[in-house]
Each structure stands twice: as C-alpha cells, then as structure tokens.
Amino acid sequence: MRIKQLQLVIRLAEEQRDAAATQLASGKAQWQAAQDQLEQLQRYQGQYVAQAKQEAQQGISVQTLFEGRRFIAELDDLIMKQRQAVEQQASVLQSLTEQWMEAARYVEALERLNTLRVNEQQRVLDRQEQQLADDQYAMRHSSPDYTMA
C-alpha cells in the first residue's frame, strides 16, 4: 500500500474513532442521566419514609397507613426498574468504551505503519542518492582525463 493510500486509510480510521468517541460521550451522558434519576428516586423515597414515620407517630388512619405502604412499594418497584436501566446503560457504556478503544488502537497501528513506511521510503531515497553520488565519484576518478591532452 502506498503512503498516500495509507494516509487515506488513516483519515478514515480517525473519522471512525471520532464517531466512536461521540457515541461514547452520548452513552456516558445517558448513563449519568439514568444514575441521577435513580439517586433522585432513592432520596425521595427516603424523605417520604421519614415523613410517613413522623406522621405515624402523631397518629394516622389505617387507610392512610395502607396507602403510604402501597406508595412505598410502588417507589421500591420504580427504584428496582431504574437500577436495571442504570445497569443496562452501564453495559452499553462498556461496549461503547471497548469500541472506541479498538478504533483508537487501530488508528495508532496505522500511524505506526505509516511512520515505518515513510522511514523506509526515506532510507530508499537516501540509498539512491548515495549510489548516485558514488557513481558520479567513480566516473570522475576512474575515467581518463581528456582535458590534459
């Protein structure tokens, strides 16, 4: 593969890596939003339970107590579902992280290959220049000098 072709492949790989980075950032934002919502539900449940205990000490009806327990059970269910959503987003985030890392490693490998190719091409050019200089030197010193006659 020629250097210009390799540079095109590198550019395309960089675009893929950048797209993977964008997806990773989006995945992180979605995970964080799910995590924030879970924490908000947990805080709300804690506040509600604390308030319900305080009200229960002052005396409440059986109906109010029953409704409060039902509401707490609904909050428990919501929290469980939100934990599952957080875990799912974490799994997606892990996958996106691996995709980005793979794309980044591929770009690095291509860049190393490009560096090797450029260095090899430079060595070939240096050898050719040296051979030309050697040939010119040999021609000057081995051919008879016709200007002395």
Best CATH choice for the domain 3-137 from the list 3.40.190.10, 3.40.50.720, 1.10.287.1700, 1.25.40.10: 1.10.287.1700
If one compares 104 and 149, the residue with the highest pLDDT of the two is 104
The pLDDT tens digits for 30-81 are 999 999 999 999 999 999 999 888 888 888 888 888 898 999 999 999 999 9
Q: What is the pLDDT of residues 70-94, one digit of tens each?
A: 999 999 999 999 999 999 999 999 9
Round to whole Å and give the CA distance between 18 and 8. Answer: 15
Tokens of residue 149, six digits: 């006659």
Count of other CB atoms within 10 angstroms of residue 22: 12
pTM across the whole model: 0.73
Q: Let me know if 31 is exposed, middle or buried by CB neighbors in 10 A (0-12, 13-18, 19+).
A: buried
Instruction: Using alpha carbons, list the distances in angstroms from residue 125 to 130, 137, 147.
Output: 8, 18, 34
